């Protein structure tokens, strides 16, 4: 008789909004997790697009080991990682800084030919208030479009750049003290406007105001009206959740179908997170 497959353990999953985001309780990510728990966490990620694991106690080495259970960590191109662990990038806003890193709606590094599949962010130092992060479900952003708009977007590809003006500004304070040597405007990609998720098979809208500048084969002026509509459409409140960080919370989001926006409302206070991004693949329609 064939041996039955072991069932994945039941996780304590608590959604934080109707369409995206869930906290997962009772998992210690500093430990060597068994394959069943890793599979259950991956399913939770695919179901909710971003999962939050509060009250974790992680060294950078432990965070990196946990990340490797889900993919291959990659090095962020513009900001230095830790000296001994370059895949772990400190995301720091100092008390005197005015710009928070990445403070605009975006998907991570879509200007790369193979953008990351996901990102993990671990909270080390938090301000006494503010500093929340918003997330938006891009499956719903696509699925709620009219049939006519879906047909229009289906064949289109978009040009994404690393140096679009607003996102450049969000990097200025971090790059003063942690630049990896690039100016910030060197990278460009061309990806489908609507991508198919390689694990779920669902379609997601894949443009964002931080990096998308035009449709392939069109000028910026020709592209602007439709892109402006999409940028506003894809962050409707019904598609989003807002996460209030607690110290030592770990977030893990699916960069292929979720966007995020760190809120810059804590001037005069420090905020330090450790970020790891996981290698992805080339988006396809």
The token pair that represents 199 in the structure block: 């694990």
Q: Is residue 233 part of a domain?
A: yes
Q: Is residue 107 part of a domain?
A: yes
What global pTM score does this model have?
0.94
Percentage of the chain with pLDDT > 70?
93
Q: Is residue 6 part of a domain?
A: no
Q: Is residue 81 part of a domain?
A: yes
Give the pLDDT confidence score for residue 3 in this predicted structure: 44
Give the pLDDT confidence score for residue 224 in this predicted structure: 98
Instruction: Specify the residue for token string 């919370």.
Output: 249
Q: Is residue 90 part of a domain?
A: yes
- Burial (CB count <10 Å: 0-12, 13-18, 19+), residue 225: exposed
Structural domain total, the chain: 1
- Give tens-digit pLDDT for 178-187: 666 666 678 9
- Whose CA is closest to 11, among 59, 62, 58, 47? 47
Core vs surface per residue 52-85: b (16+ CB within 10 A) or e: bbeebebebebbbbbbeebbebbebebbbbeeeb
Cα three-residue angle 123-236-104, rounded to 5 degrees: 45
Q: How confident is the model at residue 1 (pLDDT cuts 50, 70, 90)?
A: very low
Q: Is residue 5 part of a domain?
A: no
Q: How far apart are CA 192 and CA 203, in angstroms?
A: 11
Q: How far apart are CA 208 and CA 114, in angstroms?
A: 16
E strands present in the chain: 12-15, 22-25, 50-53, 73-74, 89-93, 118-125, 133-137, 157-161, 188-192, 194-196, 203-205, 212-215, 240-243, 250-254, 258-262, 271-278
CB 253 within 8 A of CB 46: no
CATH number at residue 41: 3.60.130.10
Q: Is residue 1 part of a domain?
A: no
Q: Catalytic positions, please?
A: 106, 108, 260, 275
Q: How far apart are CA 41 and CA 8, in angstroms?
A: 10
- Give tens-digit pLDDT for 244-272: 999 999 999 999 999 999 999 999 999 99
Residue 225: give the domain boundaries: 12-278
Q: Is residue 7 part of a domain?
A: no
The token pair that represents 214 in the structure block: 């035009």
């Amino acid at each position: 008789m064939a041996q039955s497959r072991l069932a994945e353990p039941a996780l304590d999953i608590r959604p934080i909004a109707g369409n995206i985001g869930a906290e997962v309780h009772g998992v210690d990510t500093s430990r060597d997790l068994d394959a069943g728990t890793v599979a259950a966490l991956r399913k939770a990620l695919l179901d909710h697009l971003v999962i939050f694991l509060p009250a974790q106690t992680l060294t950078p080495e432990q965070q990196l080991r946990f990340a490797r259970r889900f993919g291959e960590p990659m090095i962020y191109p513009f900001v230095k990682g830790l000296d001994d662990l370059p895949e772990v990038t400190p995301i720091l806003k100092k008390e005197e800084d005015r710009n928070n890193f990445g403070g605009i709606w975006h998907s991570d590094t879509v200007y790369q030919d193979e953008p990351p599949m996901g990102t993990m962010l671990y909270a080390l130092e938090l301000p006494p208030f503010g500093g929340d992060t918003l997330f938006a479900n891009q499956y719903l952003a696509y699925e709620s479009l009219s049939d006519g708009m879906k047909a229009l977007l289906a064949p289109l590809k978009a040009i994404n750049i690393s140096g679009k003006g607003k996102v450049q500004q969000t990097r200025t304070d971090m790059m003063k003290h942690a630049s990896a040597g690039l100016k910030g405007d060197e990278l460009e990609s061309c990806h489908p406007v609507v991508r198919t998720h390689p694990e779920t098979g669902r379609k997601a809208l894949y443009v964002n105001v931080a990096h998308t500048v035009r449709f392939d084969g069109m000028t910026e002026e020709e592209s602007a009206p439709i892109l402006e509509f999409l940028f506003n459409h894809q962050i409707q409140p019904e598609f989003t959740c807002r996460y209030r960080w607690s110290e030592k919370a770990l977030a893990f989001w699916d960069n292929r179908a979720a966007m995020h926006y760190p809120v810059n409302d804590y001037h005069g206070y420090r905020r330090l997170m450790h970020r790891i991004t996981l290698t992805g693949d080339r988006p396809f329609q």
